[in-house]
Amino acid sequence: MSIGCEASSYTQRTNYLSLDPNYKDPHGRPLLRITFDFPENDLRMAQYCTGKVAEIAKSMNPRQLVAKPTSGHWNSVPYQSSHVCGGFVMGADPSNSSVNKHLQVWDVPNLFVVGASAFPQNPGYNPTGTVGALAYKAAHDIRAYYLKRPGEMITA
């Protein structure tokens, strides 16, 4: 059997999305570039969490125990249980967020963006339930408020 753990990865100024200056899609539009690496705190958290999981596993008296915490730089090539979040963050201020609490894009009232892109950071757990809840909330708000009075539901 295998036992694993996930830690969270909090927002860092050094981790961001940008438009790639070199690579373009077939229509000439720049591709999205992800600049990301594990900050020191993430690596220390991985070491700590892996140690705790190893303690639990050791109490089960296994024939073999291999504790392998995340180390080094982030690499997108090997499989990892990553849930990429952020990039179109929800907030109360259009100067530091992309969508309001209804997931309505600031200054584009007929556009709603639903997904883990609204998270400011990866919470370290599968985001599916939270994404589903946000989708339900956005659908409710569109029906209950937006369709009755189209426009910005929150003004900046």
- ∠ CA 123-100-105, rounded to 5°: 110
Residue 104 phi/psi, 5-degree rounding, is: -90, 130
**Of 87, 80, 74, 2, nearest to 42 (Cα)?**
74
**Positions of E strands within the chain:** 16-24, 30-35
Q: Looking at the annotation, which residues are catalytic? A: 83
**Six token digits for residue 136:** 């339900």
> CA-to-CA distance for 18 and 30, rounded, in angstroms?
9
